[in-house]
C-alpha cells in the first residue's frame, strides 16, 4: 500500500525570477567578421583568441584593459558592429625649429625633423611623405630623413644621406644598414594607412574600413605644444548597431566602443541616454584639454548627457575608459566612487594646470599622478553627475522594479486590501534597506516608503486593479572627495 493513499503532498514552486541587467558586465562593441551573431559573452582573453581575434585587434585590446584590473570582472560581452567606420585622424603641427615630429602608427614611428626656419606646411608635407613611404629605388640620391619601403613591406629611415646601391636596398630590422653611401634604420612594418596633406593639416586615413589604427604623436607634445589632433571619423550608424546588439541580448550595462571619434561617441552617447546604459569612452583629441568649445567633451556637456563620462587620454590603444570600467565593475553598486582609482596597464597623462582646468570645466575626466599615486579624476558624466550615482540609481531602479514584479508573478494573487498593500510596501522598503546596506542610500535619516489608504484609492483604480501612489524617499550616501582641515598650534 502506498503512503500516497494516506498522505498526499503537492509542492508548488513559486520561483519565477526576472532577468536583471548585469551591472558588472561591460559590452565591448567593435567591427569584426569572426562570427555572425551580434553578441557573445567571454570570461577570459583566451576565449577571444580561440574565436580568431588577434592580440592587436581593438576587441582584444579593450578586453585586455578590462581584464587587467584586479579584481577583474567575471565576464564581458562582445558586441559585433556590422557597419564599419573608416578611421580618419587630422593632425595639425605647430612649427618649431630643429624638432623631430613623430607620428607613431601602430608600431611604426614615422619622423620628420624640421629645419631652422620651418613652416607648418613643410612639416605636414614631410610627414605625409614619410607615411606614404615610396619603394626603395636603386642608384638614387636620398637625403637624411627620407623614408622608403623595402624587404617585404618594411619601413626604413635614411640616417646618412647618399646614393643608394645598384640593387638590393636595406633589409632586416637593424640600424646603421649600409646601402652604398647611404645608411638606414629599420622603423617597423608598413602600415595600412594613407597620409594626405592640406596646407597645415596632416590627415591619416585607414586603407580598410573597420581596420582601426593606433596613433601616438610626440610623447612630449602636451608640454611642447607640438600638435593639435582630432579623430574625425564619421559615424556609419553605431546607434543602429547598438540597437541590434541590445535586441539580441540586453544583459549588459557598461558600453565601450572601438572608435574614439567625436561623431561616434556623441551618437553612442545619445543611444545610451535613452536605453539606461553607462558609457565611459576615452578621447585623445587635444581640443579636450584646451578652451575650445567644439570638442567631444563640450558637445556632450551642451547636451547634458548624464550617462556618458569621457576620459581624456593620449594613448588610444590603452583604452583608458575600458580599464576604468574594468576597475569599477567588479564592485557592487554603492561600494565605490570612480575617483582616486589606479588603472593597470594605463599610463598617466602629463597635463598642465591649464589643461586640467579646461577638462574640468567641460565635466571631463583624466588620469594623472598626484603625490606619487596614479589616480582618475573626477568621476563625472557630462551633465554633470557622478558616474557612481548613475550606476547606483540604475541598480536601485532595476532591482526595485524586478522585486515588485517577482512578487506579483510568484503568488496566485496579491489581494487589493490592506494586507496586499502592506505586502507591496514591504517589498519596496526591503530594497531600500538593501540600498542602505550597500551604502547607496544613507541610514540616517533612514529611507521610508508610504502607501495610500485603501479608502482613499479611487474606485476606477481599484476596478482596474492598479495600486497608485506608492512613494519612497531617501538620501544618497555619496562619497567624500576632498576636505579642509583647520588647526591651531599654540605654546
In this structure, the answer to whether residues 258 and 350 fall within a common structural domain is yes
In this structure, the answer to whether residues 242 and 375 fall within a common structural domain is yes
In this structure, the answer to whether residues 144 and 201 fall within a common structural domain is yes
- The most distant pair of C-alpha atoms in the chain lies apart, rounded to whole Å, by 108
CB neighbourhood size of 486 (10 A): 4
In this structure, the answer to whether residues 275 and 382 fall within a common structural domain is yes
The C-alpha R_g of the chain, in whole angstroms, comes to: 29
Reduced to 3 states (helix: H, G, I; strand: E, B; else coil), residue 27 is strand
In this structure, the answer to whether residues 73 and 201 fall within a common structural domain is no
CA distance 230 to 252: 30
Structural domain includes residue 407: no
Do the beta carbons of residue 443 and residue 426 sit within 8 Å? no
> For position 22, what pLDDT does the model report?
72
Structural domain includes residue 16: no
Core vs surface per residue 64-90: b (16+ CB within 10 A) or e: bbbbbbeebbebbbbbbbbebbebbbb
CB neighbourhood size of 9 (10 A): 6
> For position 199, what pLDDT does the model report?
84
Structural domain includes residue 124: yes
Structural domain includes residue 53: yes
Structural domain includes residue 460: yes
Angle CA(320)–CA(325)–CA(328) in degrees, nearest 5? Answer: 125
Question: For the chain, what is the domain count?
Answer: 3
C-alpha distance from residue 162 to each of 39, 133, 137, 143, 409 (Å):
56, 18, 13, 7, 83
In this structure, the answer to whether residues 94 and 60 fall within a common structural domain is no
Collect all residues with Cβ–Cβ distance below 8 Å to 176 and sequence separation of at least 6.
159, 183, 184, 185
- Summarised one tens digit per residue, pLDDT across range 178-198 is 999 999 999 999 999 999 999
Backbone angles phi, psi at 294, to 5 degrees: -110, 15
Structural domain includes residue 330: yes
Decide the pairing of beta strands 311-312 and 366-370: unpaired
Do the beta carbons of residue 228 and residue 199 sit within 8 Å? no
Range of the domain at 425: 412-481
In this structure, the answer to whether residues 66 and 97 fall within a common structural domain is no
> For position 218, what pLDDT does the model report?
86
In this structure, the answer to whether residues 171 and 273 fall within a common structural domain is no
Matching residue, cell 512613494: 471
In this structure, the answer to whether residues 130 and 223 fall within a common structural domain is yes
**Lookup: cell for 258:** 572601438
> For position 13, what pLDDT does the model report?
45
- From 231, 261, 292, give the residue that closes a domain: 231
Core vs surface per residue 265-275: b (16+ CB within 10 A) or e: bbbbbbbbbee
Ranges of the chain whose pLDDT falls below 70: 1-21, 219-224
In this structure, the answer to whether residues 78 and 166 fall within a common structural domain is no
- Summarised one tens digit per residue, pLDDT across range 427-456 is 999 999 999 999 999 999 999 999 999 999
- From 175, 203, 231, give the residue that closes a domain: 231
> For position 225, what pLDDT does the model report?
78
In this structure, the answer to whether residues 253 and 366 fall within a common structural domain is yes
Among 191, 196, 194, 107, which Cα is nearest to 153's? Answer: 191
Structural domain includes residue 14: no
Structural domain includes residue 10: no
Do the beta carbons of residue 28 and residue 79 sit within 8 Å? yes
Core vs surface per residue 185-194: b (16+ CB within 10 A) or e: bbbbebbebe
User: Residue length, the chain?
Assistant: 491
DSSP annotation of 287? G
What does pLDDT average to over the chain? Answer: 93
| pTM of the shown model | 0.91
Amino acid at each position: 500500500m502506498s503512503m500516497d493513499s494516506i498522505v498526499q503532498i503537492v509542492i508548488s514552486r513559486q520561483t519565477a525570477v526576472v532577468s536583471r541587467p548585469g551591472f558588472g558586465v561591460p559590452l565591448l562593441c567593435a567591427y569584426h567578421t569572426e562570427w555572425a551573431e551580434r553578441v557573445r559573452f567571454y570570461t577570459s582573453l583566451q576565449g577571444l583568441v580561440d574565436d580568431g581575434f588577434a592580440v592587436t585587434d581593438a576587441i582584444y585590446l579593450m578586453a585586455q584593459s578590462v581584464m587587467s584590473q584586479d579584481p577583474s570582472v567575471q565576464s564581458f560581452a562582445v558586441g559585433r558592429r556590422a557597419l564599419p567606420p573608416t578611421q580618419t585622424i587630422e593632425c595639425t603641427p605647430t612649427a618649431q625649429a630643429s624638432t623631430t615630429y613623430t607620428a607613431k602608427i601602430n608600431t611604426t614611428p614615422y619622423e620628420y625633423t624640421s629645419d631652422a626656419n620651418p613652416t607648418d606646411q613643410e612639416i605636414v608635407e614631410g610627414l605625409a611623405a614619410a607615411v606614404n613611404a615610396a619603394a626603395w629605388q636603386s642608384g638614387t640620391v636620398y637625403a637624411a630623413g627620407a623614408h622608403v619601403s623595402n624587404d617585404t613591406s618594411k619601413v626604413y629611415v635614411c640616417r646618412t644621406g647618399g646614393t643608394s646601391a645598384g640593387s638590393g636596398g636595406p633589409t632586416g630590422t637593424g640600424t646603421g644598414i649600409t646601402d652604398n653611401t647611404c645608411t638606414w634604420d629599420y622603423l617597423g612594418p608598413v602600415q595600412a594607412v594613407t597620409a594626405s596633406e592640406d596646407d597645415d593639416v596632416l590627415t591619416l586615413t585607414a586603407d580598410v574600413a573597420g581596420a582601426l589604427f593606433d596613433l601616438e604623436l610626440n610623447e612630449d607634445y602636451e608640454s611642447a605644444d607640438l600638435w593639435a589632433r582630432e579623430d574625425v571619423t564619421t559615424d556609419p550608424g553605431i546607434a543602429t548597431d547598438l540597437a541590434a546588439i541590445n535586441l539580441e541580448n540586453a544583459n549588459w550595462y557598461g558600453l565601450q566602443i572601438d572608435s574614439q571619434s567625436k561623431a561616434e561617441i556623441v551618437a553612442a552617447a545619445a543611444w545610451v541616454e535613452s536605453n539606461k546604459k553607462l558609457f565611459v569612452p576615452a578621447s585623445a583629441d587635444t581640443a579636450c584639454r584646451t578652451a575650445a568649445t567644439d570638442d567631444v567633451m563640450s558637445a556632450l556637456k551642451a547636451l547634458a548627457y548624464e550617462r556618458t563620462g569621457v576620459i581624456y587620454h593620449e594613448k588610444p590603444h590603452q583604452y583608458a575608459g575600458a580599464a576604468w570600467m574594468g576597475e569599477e565593475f567588479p564592485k557592487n553598486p554603492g561600494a565605490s566612487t570612480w575617483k582616486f582609482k589606479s588603472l593597470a596597464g594605463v599610463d598617466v597623462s602629463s597635463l598642465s594646470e591649464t589643461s586640467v582646468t579646461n577638462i574640468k570645466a567641460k565635466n571631463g575626466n583624466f588620469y594623472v599622478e598626484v603625490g606619487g599615486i596614479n589616480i582618475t579624476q573626477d568621476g563625472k558624466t557630462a551633465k554633470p553627475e557622478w558616474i557612481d550615482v548613475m550606476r547606483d540609481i540604475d541598480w536601485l531602479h532595476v532591482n526595485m522594479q524586478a522585486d515588485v514584479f517577482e512578487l506579483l508573478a510568484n503568488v496566485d494573487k496579491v489581494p487589493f486590501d490592506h494586507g496586499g498593500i502592506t505586502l507591496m510596501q514591504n517589498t519596496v522598503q526591503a530594497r531600500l534597506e538593501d540600498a542602505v546596506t550597500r551604502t547607496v542610500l544613507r541610514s540616517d535619516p533612514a529611507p521610508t516608503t508610504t502607501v495610500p489608504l485603501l479608502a482613499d484609492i479611487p474606485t476606477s483604480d481599484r476596478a482596474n486593479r492598479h495600486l497608485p501612489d506608492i512613494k519612497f524617499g531617501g538620501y544618497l550616501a555619496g562619497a567624500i572627495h576632498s576636505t579642509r582641515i583647520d588647526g591651531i598650534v599654540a605654546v
